[in-house]
Chains A and B, each alone.
Chain A
Amino acid sequence: MQSYWFGDLDGTSCQPAPDDLAVLVKRVRDLGDAREAPLPEWDLAVMCGFVNNRAGYLECLRRTAISYSREMLLVAMSTDTSGLLPMVRMVDQIDEAVNLLTERATEWYIAIHPGFHRKSTRVRGTALIDLLRKDAVGPLLSVLEEIDRLTDQRRMLTREIAGCADKVLPNSSALVGGLVAARLAAEAGGIRELAMMPASSLQVLGSRKALFAHLATGSPPPKHGVVFQHGKVHGSRKERRGRVARVLSGKLVIAVRIDYYRKELDPGFIRNATEAIRKAGSAQ
């Protein structure tokens, strides 16, 4: 007997499948899993009495394929990291916007207050905005307040991300903090993708430009990408950063795999890993 999505063919007799989308989708799935489905031929479906003609065949096939694909889409979406990735990307975008707006607003402020010079103050970021707000008025003031609101928004988002990452990435969050863990997942394109990654790839995630420059022109390879944001990496002496980043990535990739497969916190592992990373940062 030969099975097709539209029916079962046995020699010359044919049993058409019921005209029910759920059944048809299941047939497609089963045939696909069996891995040896014959290519469907539309005239067989007509012979079967499943449809009347080619147009009817395509119409029914189309509905079945759409239904099947919607199901696959749901599966793919549910393995996604519960909205973690879009939030990370939003934070990055807000950062960029805040930096640009702050720069512009400072220029504007200088135009009004020629005595003020950026170089004369060591204040940066949000503190700079606070400083400017003290004697800004009118439209400039409202722009500064807008920047301030964006910064608040960012703070709320990062808190949300950290909370969410603590749940879906408990071990990696314990090692590097929720935001960095979420950034890595976003950079890799998902937790599954991150868990499949070799430690050496994870180590340079987020340093795309430097990595491809290295491959293309032979410039020195990047030591770290997103993992640089971990205190132990950017806090250690420059000549030791590469080593810390390497050890950290090694431990981190194990942590992500525990997150992805076991889905629970492993305190013993975290203790050992933290100790190994601390050692890597101290002089031998």
Chain B
Amino acid sequence: MIWIDGQLVSPGKELVHGERTLQGFRLWDPRRSKLSALYHLGQGIDLEPQHRVLYLGAANGTTVSHVADYVEVVYAVESAPRPFQDLLVVAEGRDNIIPIMADARKPYLYRPLVEEVDLIYQDVAQRDQAAILLSNTGFLNSGGATILMLKARSVDVRRTLSEIAAETETLLKAGGLSIEKTISLSPYYPDHAALIGLLP
């Protein structure tokens, strides 16, 4: 990962609407991207140039574009029409984002397109977040990693983040992943946690 004066940046040429740059690098804002927040907290999995990434919940494609600056190829899955239109624009400006309009709950729809990947990054903010990740682990090579951005408020408004995180960990372990670490994303994102897993 590339840091300049304590700020995370990514080495992209194509800019996404009016963002700031630092010495020719794109600034990767931890307040706008949970993945950047995770790196700012000193955690996360370093992105490597040879990495192939499956990104679930690509939204407008901002974080996707930063990931794409670091890795070989990003398969970006998003199901909502409005953000997907933005994602398409971002993908058209780069040659290593494969945009796929599909529901991450139905991986069989994009199985024909997505090859084996080294990392699955999931940020879908749905109640069944853990199940969605598990239904996608078929894309992961052995030794591959997963990063799940857990939004506690999407799972249950009544329980605390740590309760929900513990429950999600149990679900993921039962699904065959080993959980390396669970990191709370406060102060950048209250009520969010990142669960980092490995496929043994």
| B99 part of interface (Cβ distance < 8 Å) | yes
Which residues of chain A in 39-68 are interfacial with respect to chain B, using CB atoms and an 8 Å cutoff? Answer: 39-42, 58-59, 61-62, 64-66, 68
B108 engages A72 (CB within 8 Å):
no
| B155 part of interface (Cβ distance < 8 Å) | no
Beta-carbon nearest neighbor of A4 in chain B: B112
Interface size on B, residues (CB 8 A): 28
B84 engages A73 (CB within 8 Å):
yes
Contact of B158 among A4, A58, A216 (CB under 8 A): A216
Interface size on A, residues (CB 8 A): 32
| B109 part of interface (Cβ distance < 8 Å) | yes
B113 engages A64 (CB within 8 Å):
yes
A212 to chain B, nearest CB (A): 6
| A32 part of interface (Cβ distance < 8 Å) | yes
Q: Which residues of B contact A28 (CB under 8 A)?
A: 112-113
A39 engages B116 (CB within 8 Å):
yes
**Complex Cα spacing A32 to B92, Å:** 24
A121 to chain B, nearest CB (A): 43
Q: Which residues of B contact A72 (CB under 8 A)?
A: 101-102
A69 engages B99 (CB within 8 Å):
yes
A40 engages B113 (CB within 8 Å):
yes
B112 engages A69 (CB within 8 Å):
no
Name B's A-contacting residues (CB within 8 A).
73, 81, 84-85, 88, 91-92, 95-102, 108-116, 138-139, 157-158
Name A's B-contacting residues (CB within 8 A).
4-5, 27-28, 31-32, 35-42, 58-59, 61-62, 64-66, 68-70, 72-73, 76-77, 80, 212, 215-216
A-B contact pairs, 29 of them (CB 8 A): A5-B112, A5-B113, A32-B109, A32-B112, A38-B111, A39-B114, A39-B116, A39-B138, A40-B112, A40-B113, A40-B114, A58-B73, A58-B95, A58-B96, A58-B98, A59-B95, A62-B91, A62-B97, A65-B98, A68-B101, A69-B88, A69-B101, A72-B101, A72-B102, A76-B81, A77-B81, A80-B81, A215-B157, A216-B157
